[in-house]
Amino acid sequence: MNRLLRQIILLALLFNGWSVSAQRYELGIMGGGANMIGDVGNTQYINPDSPAAGILFRWNNSMRYAWRASLLHNNLSADDGLSSDPYRQSRNYSVTNRLTALSLGLEFNHLKFNLHRFGGQWSPYLFSGITVFHSQPKLGASVYVSDNEWKEWGLAVPVGLGVKWRPKTYLVFGLESTLHATFTDNLDGSNPKNDKFANLNPGEYFGNPNSQDWFMWTGLTLTYTFGQKPCVECYK
């Protein structure tokens, strides 16, 4: 009985060691554009008019899914003068927002994405998880408020859609668009909630307080894979 128990423990340890070594990791960069969806500026969902860049990490422990983490810096901007809404055009407000977002979540591959085999691999994928961000909205000079700049933290739910392709053994290219649905109405500076703005006049708030602001990232990714080396016979 004791011998059988020892053999079971040994097999479990060997299997655990193989599982860890068999996993592939990716580390790389993200670059593209971002846009704000709020009470100022254009109302299009995908309109990458502001630069955004960051880093991306994936932990591939299955051909169908990967855990991922990303850190993205966005220089968001919105201008009523670029909106198709006549009211916003006449109001002529503008805002910028230096926003840094840390996202953690799970990526689901539509096709089997096997990084343990040589040759080309590609797959569409979906991504979701949780985002923590630091936001620094700054209103333009045309917005008449007592103080036009502040900082705050927030949460968002990211929902991303993309496609990735590995033409070589170690590099993976991707195209992705991710919507971040936040829980704040203040990415555009229209609805500040901290004590610093407790005494704002009613006219210094604007927009729709019943809808939350979103931001979108669209761009390219390039990652380098490492971990157990690919082999011809793995995961056929």
On the question of pLDDT at 34 being above 90, the answer is yes
* Region of poorest pLDDT, from 131-140, 160-169, 182-191: 182-191
The residue behind tokens 């496609």 is 163
Alpha-carbon 176 to chain mean position: 9
Top pLDDT among 1 and 164 is at: 164
Structural contact between residues 103 and 131, judged by C-beta atoms closer than 8 angstroms: yes
- Tell me, what amino acid is at 221? T
Residue 57: the pLDDT is 97
DSSP code at position 89: H
Task: Tokens for 63, please give them.
Answer: 């051909």
Digit-coded pLDDT (tens) for 120-161: 889 999 999 999 999 998 887 555 554 556 788 999 999 999
Q: What average pLDDT does the chain have?
A: 83
* Region of poorest pLDDT, from 4-8, 41-45, 181-185: 4-8
On the question of pLDDT at 169 being above 90, the answer is no
* Region of poorest pLDDT, from 47-56, 115-124, 198-207: 198-207
Residue 17: the pLDDT is 46
Mean pLDDT of 22-46: 90
Residue 12: the pLDDT is 47
Query: Around Cβ 167, how many Cβ atoms within 10 Å?
Result: 11
Q: Per CATH, the architecture of 2-227 is what?
A: Beta Barrel (2.40)
Q: Beta strand 65-79 with 171-182: parallel, antiparallel or unpaired?
A: unpaired
On the question of pLDDT at 8 being above 50, the answer is no
Integer Cα distance of 81 and 49 in angstroms: 14
On the question of pLDDT at 202 being above 60, the answer is no
Digit-coded pLDDT (tens) for 74-120: 999 999 888 888 888 888 888 999 999 999 999 999 999 988 877 78
Integer Cα distance of 126 and 68 in angstroms: 12
Mean pLDDT of 188-201: 62
DSSP code at position 136: -
In the chain, domain spans: 2-227
On the question of pLDDT at 11 being above 50, the answer is no
